[in-house]
Structure 1
Amino acid sequence: MADLAFIFMLTRHDRTVPDAAGHVATALAAGIRHIGFKDVGLPLPALRELGHMIKAGGAVSYLEVVSLDRDSEIMSVRAAIDLGVDHLLGGTHVDDVLPLLRGTGIRYYPFPGQIAGHPSVLNGSIEEIVGSARSIAGREGVDGLDLLAYRSGVDVPALMTAVCAATDKPVIVAGSIDRPEQIEAVRQAGAAGFTIGTSALEGRFPARGTGLEAQLAAIAACL
Structure 2
Amino acid sequence: MTCRPHLIVMLTHHDRTVRNAYEIFEQCKRSKADFWGFKEQPLPLPQMKTLYTYMKEYGKTTFLEVVAYTEEECMKGAKMAVACGCDILLGTLFFDSINTFCKEHHLKYMPFVGRVTDRPSILNGTPKEMIAEAQSYLEKGVYGFDLLGYRYTGDAFSLNKRFVSEIDAPVCIAGSVDSYRRLDEIKEASPWAFTIGGAFFEHKFGKTFNEQIDNVCRYMDTLKGTP
Task: Give 2:180's aligned residue.
Answer: 180
Q: 2:67 matched to 1:66?
A: yes
Alpha carbons 1:126, 1:154 under 8 Å: kept: no
Question: 5+ residue gaps in structure 1?
Answer: none
Alpha carbons 2:33, 2:214 under 8 Å: kept: no
Alpha carbons 1:151, 1:176 under 8 Å: kept: yes
Alpha carbons 1:112, 1:136 under 8 Å: kept: no
Task: Give 2:225's aligned residue.
Answer: none
2:216 pairs, out of 200, 214, 219, with 219
Alignment of 1:4-153 (within 5 A): 4-140=5-141, 142-153=142-153
Q: SS of the residue aligned with 2:63?
A: strand
Alpha carbons 1:9, 1:37 under 8 Å: kept: yes
TM-score (norm 2): 0.91
Alpha carbons 1:39, 1:76 under 8 Å: kept: yes
Alpha carbons 1:134, 1:167 under 8 Å: kept: yes
CA–CA distance in structure 2, aligned partners of residues 99 and 133 of structure 1: 16
- How far the C-alpha of 1:102 sits from its partner, in A, is 1.8
Question: 5+ residue gaps in structure 2?
Answer: 221-227
**CA RMSD in angstroms, aligned pairs only:** 1.5
Task: Give 2:164's aligned residue.
Answer: 164
- How far the C-alpha of 1:73 sits from its partner, in A, is 1.1
CA–CA distance in structure 1, aligned partners of residues 135 and 196 of structure 2: 25
Q: SS of the residue aligned with 2:104?
A: coil
- How far the C-alpha of 1:2 sits from its partner, in A, is 5.7
- How far the C-alpha of 1:160 sits from its partner, in A, is 0.9
Matched pairs, number: 219
Residues 17-39 of structure 1: CA distance to partner in whole angstroms, max 9, x if unpaired?
Answer: 10000111222121321000101
TM-score (norm 1): 0.93
Alpha carbons 2:164, 2:190 under 8 Å: kept: yes
Residues 33-58 of structure 1: CA distance to partner in whole angstroms, max 9, x if unpaired?
Answer: 10001011211111111110110111
Alpha carbons 1:149, 1:160 under 8 Å: kept: yes
Alpha carbons 1:133, 1:166 under 8 Å: kept: no
CA–CA distance in structure 1, aligned partners of residues 188 and 106 of structure 2: 30
Q: Which amino acid aligns with 2:217?
A: A
- How far the C-alpha of 1:122 sits from its partner, in A, is 0.6
